Amino acid sequence: MAPPVIRPTSPTSPQPSPPPGAEREGPAQREGEVGARGARAGRSVGSIILLLPMLLLAAPGARAHAFLDHASPAVGSTVRQAPAAISLWFTQELEPAFSTVTITDEGGQRVDGGDAKVDARDQTLLRASLKPLPPGTYKVTWHIVSVDTHTTEGTFTFRVAR
Ligand SMILES: [Cu+2]
């Protein structure tokens, strides 16, 4: 059915010709089909082999770095009562000596108690007390080092309603 695949290279270079019987025999075509399936399977395996190093590279990063999991007050939330403290939970345990959070008001003034601390019992939890907060939007800036020594940082806001 399929014509013999002879790719033209240069007219002068002799093509390595397939064995004479290969194209004529019926069973050989079936073998060809099996061969094609085998080749497809081979390509899939090839893709997986190519993907594997990328997965191996990506996985430790995803696992190892500590990112903000959730916070109280929640990220982007509006609260009716001014919170007395802020709590941030991370996806990994933190290095207490190098992990901190600051909270500022709209004018850029610090409104946290300057006492940011990793919880002694839950080392994924970073807490700081807050001064009495009048209504407004507050910016939380965290900068942490996880136990794998990687640094991550981020900001979010929450609002105290009028
Ligand atoms: Cu990391």
72 Cα: distance to centroid of ligand 1 (angstroms): 24
96 Cα: distance to centroid of ligand 1 (angstroms): 15
38 Cα: distance to centroid of ligand 1 (angstroms): 41
75 Cα: distance to centroid of ligand 1 (angstroms): 22
In angstroms, the CA 77 to CA 79 distance is 6
Question: Which of 10, 11, 28, 27 minimizes the C-alpha distance to 19?
Answer: 28
Burial (CB < 10 A; 0-12, 13-18, 19+), residue 115, is exposed
pLDDT digits (tens, 9 = 90+) for 104-113: 999 999 999 9
pLDDT digits (tens, 9 = 90+) for 103-147: 999 999 999 999 999 999 999 999 999 999 999 999 999 999 999
